[in-house]
Structure 1
């Protein structure tokens, strides 16, 4: 008897072949229906989410993971808004990227095409279910989703709405499949189905990402964990720095684009901490710092070596004092996960040096790392944030979900 994985992956492959031929209007019709139904059926979705939240609390899930899991009216509205933004974006399929004629008369055109079937393995966040489905449908790809067991009720409710939208638009509902069996062994099977799966994308913590990358025999995009840094330079506007730090740490600490480590030039450490510590106390942020940071304010606990490489996903931050831009850059090179880094400075030369030197997917000057997000970049929903360099990097929107083929037209030429 075939497993659920094989059945749904095969159905997705067949559906992908049909979807690749579907026009933009039909895909947008499905997405419009999806956005409307998400809002109309929000009570049903939240009711399913409450079952997951209750079970997660009983199982001792951390507050950070509970925040990722939780759905509210506003978060469902945001999901619908992301879907509508995808509708407004250009269809990435069927575009001629470049074309040319050869001396022998052949005409060659490089045309964008869907990848095929994308397996998406993720934890906790039910919004990924909708984001992934919307982006895959618009880019002509089928997808097989495997969310965490802690979100199974939420994901089942969301996929039911997605399938309703696909049917309403006349599309094959099998182009979005959800693995309802939460046995982890099935994930490994999914990651080795080369005959059906064209790409695997993990979204979650470092452990999940490492498992997927090490297990997959299908092509895989590594979406990295986020040990993100903010460096406050000696020429920084300290009031601006406090606003950026608070936003980067506090606005949603459970996300991968939240700041984990604050680097501070020693010449502005004392005045910055005088402004920052009261704000962090008010926000209930635990601060762990080096000896200099602790000497400035007793509220700062002692940091250990592990703190510099930890993605807290919680209201915890580490603080390190540096004597120069070079020392800040060296710290980032050593501990960064190549996700997002920011500098706060009014010195344009220092800013440019930081931008040139930092090797991360997103690098900021005088802005919060929390902007590393497909919606904020104008991509609509995102399917992940890649910290690798092939084939995509940074927030992955529609353009990251197509490949290309060469269409060659001749008049009987032979070689």
Structure 2
């Protein structure tokens, strides 16, 4: 296993910036075996990531406008390109060059930047302070960009073997920046846990306990991926550890997409609380052509007439009277939570006496109007609707009437009061 892999293949470097004393590291059969196993694991995680990304594209209203969707697909593309190029390099299908190392490092920078921004995107879903979450995003991007620039200035010259100083500095700085990324990843995940507990769970949203427990467990796997990269740097061939980057970041990406799905399921589950279905059913019954935005529509609406009515009476003095609930009412569902528990019939009575004061008393249940009687308006209750009652208006609208008036009109014909509709 310590024999060199394909010793007869030409692996001489090409292109600009090649050091005078450039020497290729020997690649053994052990290195090839490790690379093949890691590459197969990378492909497996890439397939899983592609499936999760496809499902999230389907659930997105406008995936082409979603920054999150673009980030996950660019993360997958960068990981695939980087993994493929590293695999081909170990298999001695690619020769070392400035362009090769620059492409590898560019893919790595995209991986790091996008993955941390995906984590921050998850945090921004929970943090109520938009300014703070934006500052976290900007500060993280600035720090990571600074690290990336330093790596470009150190890692590529060291790989091109320009001089021994770059090689020595790279041996130290390469491990330091991996530890820095580990620290940033751990800090962002810790902040997410803290925000979920402080802003959601402590405020009574116990359903997010599932999200907290899942994140506490999965965060260890995510951080172990960074530890795996650091440990892989101890492999004798200093290039082999780069093959672990695509695998680690695809695992992290799968964790983030799984977390996003969990957050969505928990948020949607709120609509399945007790009573929500009943409220939706009531709302759907109100959503008909017989109802306006705030009250009843008349039979004229059913005939296709959309004219507004003008009031035929002036309510110079009105009294709202209250009475006991109807005793013969049938309850179609048991109210829970903030559902309607009590409904009452309210009748508006108009007195022709000028200058009198408003009085509030008990409801007067009037079955009809006789000639010369004061007009009485009947209102419908929610229970009437749920029991199959009609939401039709008892009175005819006239031209100029308002859809949203609470009073209905009584029309006088030939000296007698007649209810129309």
- How high is the TM-score relative to the length of structure 2? 0.21
More helix by share: 2
Higher strand share: 1
Task: Give the structure with higher Rg (CA).
Answer: 2
Q: Which has the higher contact order (CA 8 A, sep 6+)?
A: 1
